[in-house]
Structure 1
Amino acid sequence: MKPLTPTLCLTLALAATPLLAADSSHIDHRTTDYRQQWHTDIRAGYQKLAAQGQALAQQSETYCRAPSANGLEQTKQAWLEAFLAWQKVRFVDFGPVEQDNRAWQFQFWPDPKNLVARKASYLIKDEAPVTAEKISESGVAAQGFPMAEYLLYDQAFSESEQALPADRTCKLLLAVTSHIADNSKTLARDWDDFRSAYVGNEQYTDATIRAAMAGLEILEERRLAAPMGLRGNGKRSVYSADAWRSESSLIAADASVQGLKQYFLPAFSGLLRDRNQAALTEDIEQQFDEVLANFPDLDTPMAPLLADDDAFRSLQSLYIDVTRLAALVNDRAAVALGVVRGFNSSDGD
């Protein structure tokens, strides 16, 4: 997307001024309604994350108390369900999730230096007890879904002497999943407490839209284009994707689009329609369906799709659909609403 020029920004601002001056009370009331809906919808997502985080912690405890092959598979499934719940609300990059680097605590990514694996090795070899305090002091690479994913899924680690259900590794898994559960519960509670500040502040309308824009941008550029070799060195590599160890990179992408459709789109569509953008609204809603139509066929490991040119075409189709969706939201809708992206909106995750 080309950045908006100062002239274009000024034109949009001036164009909006007569409408706001003519009936500012109506606009304020309507934008409050949008934020009320966004708060309610995002709240549902955070509550789902809290419930799945708790389920993951409980299943991890059940497994480590009485290890079995079936129990390990159930723990992996619990991890996936909690991780996908996070993916659905991952686009929210403001408010309580900003406190204490919570987003990074849930998902330390990208991780080009493989800090998660290095941190796991250190914590397992360290003689100090693995406690909640130890995890809290160990940094974001040790605190979230990627660390639990490493312990549950990493192929080389699973063939080592430290593999689950080794005692110290189980203690680390329990501490990490407990941290995820506590973090999820606190985030849901803090979002509830954030309601008055969020609904009452006009700036959060643009902040919510920019969050969705950044989420689509990260999905397009980092989670798809980078592993597909469309960015950087031009080489396809699954290791550039998130959640590659569990082979859930594409399932996670699906969840992120579902989350945007479920928790962001309803109020956004209402806002666009109230700004006389019915046709654009329909285009965006249809494009969300187009992207999701690529699934569940792409709810498969990404690596085989990157390795085979014929299979790679399905990834290309998904990428094109995501690019079109990002253009509709980040270009056309943003311009129509006068929302200007931050300078580094896609820097960080």
Structure 2
Amino acid sequence: MRLTPLLPILAVVTSVLAVPPALAEGDGPLPLWHAGIEQGYQQLAEATADLETSARRYCQTPSDSARSRLDDQWRTAFDAWQAVRFVDFGPVEQNTLGWQFQFWPDPKNLVARKAGYYLGMEEPVSAADVDEAGVAVQGFPMVEYLLFDSRIKEGDRGLPSDQACSLLTAVSAHLAENAEGLSSAWTTLERPYRTNEQYRGATVESGMAALSLLEERRLGGPMGLRGGGKRSVYGADAWRSGHSLAAIRASLQGLYDFYLPGLESALRQAGNPTLASRIRSQFEETLARFDNLPDAMAPLLSDERFGELQGLYADLSQLATLVNDQAGTALDVVRGFNSSDGD
């Protein structure tokens, strides 16, 4: 796939050429945020490139060791995406890139249905097929399905069959190309981002929306705290791979690494250093909760261990309140509508 020219970005560049360079220097929130997100996107590009390499090597010479490396590399790349998933503005808006990395939620199991179609084709799946296939085919959930779905692993259409390998390598290449393009586009955005204060509100709001999504949908949904009130792991990310809680932790770690430093700087500039310290402490307390939890969410949905999820939910809810309500008020940023959660 080839990314289309980033016309909105070029327009912003033109509009901010006269902005003084002071905002682009020092350790203010905009430089901190840009540098952090840039690092996250670079890590995503490297991890997806490694995923593509692992997929090709496995399909060329299948072995247990190659399969283990491939499975691990999917987890690494998926976590790298989770770490920057909070960024819902800028280059990731082009060509619905966010959805191309991860089609979620998937209540109609569209990923599995699409996989069945492409695995049933007579001809190998090509890069052009994936480019034209739509977001349910193009991202991490499709690779996860091929690697971890119990039914496809037991059948003769699964890996390392020729057809499954053609789909795996085509989707992995698509992910790697998109990640490299996203990383390059973010670097191009550096000056307009660091000199345009409009990005301040957009970045604060993106973290607020990500925390709400974690609380309400990614954790609260499977816990039965939303909708019909039934516990179900099928509403979680990465349930096929048993990586649901690990993915939530990766998202929270990404917010801690790439979002919190700029947020703290913005709060200090606004005269709220105490709130900045409270938010950091709450981030660290919430992250520490994961130390004693499994990567999978399913075991914790049982009555015997549900209290562990409730404790995590309480910490995450407190963090969301501190950022969305108190920090948002202090920085005069109100969370708006977020279209990235599938509603």
TM-score, with structure 2 as normaliser: 0.91
Counterparts of 2:213 and 2:159 in 1: how far apart (Å)? 33
Counterparts of 2:97 and 2:340 in 1: how far apart (Å)? 17
Matched, 1:276 2:271: yes
Further displaced range: 194-203 or 279-288 = 194-203
| Partner deviation per Cα, 1:52-97 (whole Å, 9 max, x = no partner) | 0000000111100010122111100000000000000000000000
Which among 334, 341, 349 is matched to residue 328 of structure 2? Answer: 334
SS at match of 1:293: helix
After superposition, the Cα gap between the structure-2 partners of 1:103 and 1:31, relative to the gap in structure 1 and judged at 3 Å, is: farther
Paired residue for 1:313?
307
Paired residue for 1:43?
38
After superposition, the Cα gap between the structure-2 partners of 1:69 and 1:256, relative to the gap in structure 1 and judged at 3 Å, is: same
Root mean square deviation, CA, Å: 1.8
- Equivalent pair of 2:58/2:66 in contact (CA under 8 Å): yes
- Equivalent pair of 2:25/2:31 in contact (CA under 8 Å): no
After superposition, the Cα gap between the structure-2 partners of 1:28 and 1:300, relative to the gap in structure 1 and judged at 3 Å, is: closer
After superposition, the Cα gap between the structure-2 partners of 1:345 and 1:99, relative to the gap in structure 1 and judged at 3 Å, is: closer
Query: Shift in Å at residue 345 of structure 1?
Result: 6.2
- Equivalent pair of 1:294/1:318 in contact (CA under 8 Å): yes
Structure 1 or 2, whichever has the larger Rg, is: 1
- Equivalent pair of 2:62/2:160 in contact (CA under 8 Å): yes
- Equivalent pair of 1:61/1:174 in contact (CA under 8 Å): yes
- Equivalent pair of 1:60/1:177 in contact (CA under 8 Å): yes
Matches within 5 A, 1:134-149: 134-149=129-144
Query: Shift in Å at residue 257 of structure 1?
Result: 0.6
Paired residue for 1:104?
99
Counterparts of 2:145 and 2:215 in 1: how far apart (Å)? 25
Which among 125, 128, 131 is matched to residue 120 of structure 2? Answer: 125
The one-letter amino acid paired with 1:242 is D
Query: Shift in Å at residue 343 of structure 1?
Result: 3.6
Which among 158, 161, 185 is matched to residue 190 of structure 1? Answer: 185
Which among 186, 195, 203 is matched to residue 200 of structure 1? Answer: 195
Counterparts of 1:206 and 1:176 in 2: how far apart (Å)? 34
What is the aligned-residue identity percentage?
52
Which among 64, 74, 80 is matched to residue 75 of structure 2? Answer: 80
Counterparts of 1:151 and 1:169 in 2: how far apart (Å)? 7
- Equivalent pair of 2:23/2:195 in contact (CA under 8 Å): no
After superposition, the Cα gap between the structure-2 partners of 1:344 and 1:199, relative to the gap in structure 1 and judged at 3 Å, is: same
Query: Shift in Å at residue 33 of structure 1?
Result: 3.1
Counterparts of 1:334 and 1:224 in 2: how far apart (Å)? 22
| Partner deviation per Cα, 1:39-63 (whole Å, 9 max, x = no partner) | 1110000000000000000011110
SS at match of 2:304: helix
| Partner deviation per Cα, 1:19-44 (whole Å, 9 max, x = no partner) | xxxxxx99967899321111111000
Counterparts of 1:34 and 1:280 in 2: how far apart (Å)? 16
| Partner deviation per Cα, 1:137-157 (whole Å, 9 max, x = no partner) | 000000000000000000011
- Equivalent pair of 1:108/1:141 in contact (CA under 8 Å): yes
Paired residue for 2:167?
172
Paired residue for 1:19?
none
- Equivalent pair of 1:42/1:89 in contact (CA under 8 Å): yes
Counterparts of 1:265 and 1:126 in 2: how far apart (Å)? 47
Counterparts of 2:96 and 2:39 in 1: how far apart (Å)? 22
- Equivalent pair of 1:31/1:271 in contact (CA under 8 Å): no
Paired residue for 1:3?
none
Paired residue for 1:247?
242
SS at match of 1:227: coil
The one-letter amino acid paired with 1:342 is G
After superposition, the Cα gap between the structure-2 partners of 1:112 and 1:31, relative to the gap in structure 1 and judged at 3 Å, is: farther
| Partner deviation per Cα, 1:155-182 (whole Å, 9 max, x = no partner) | 0111111011011101110001011111
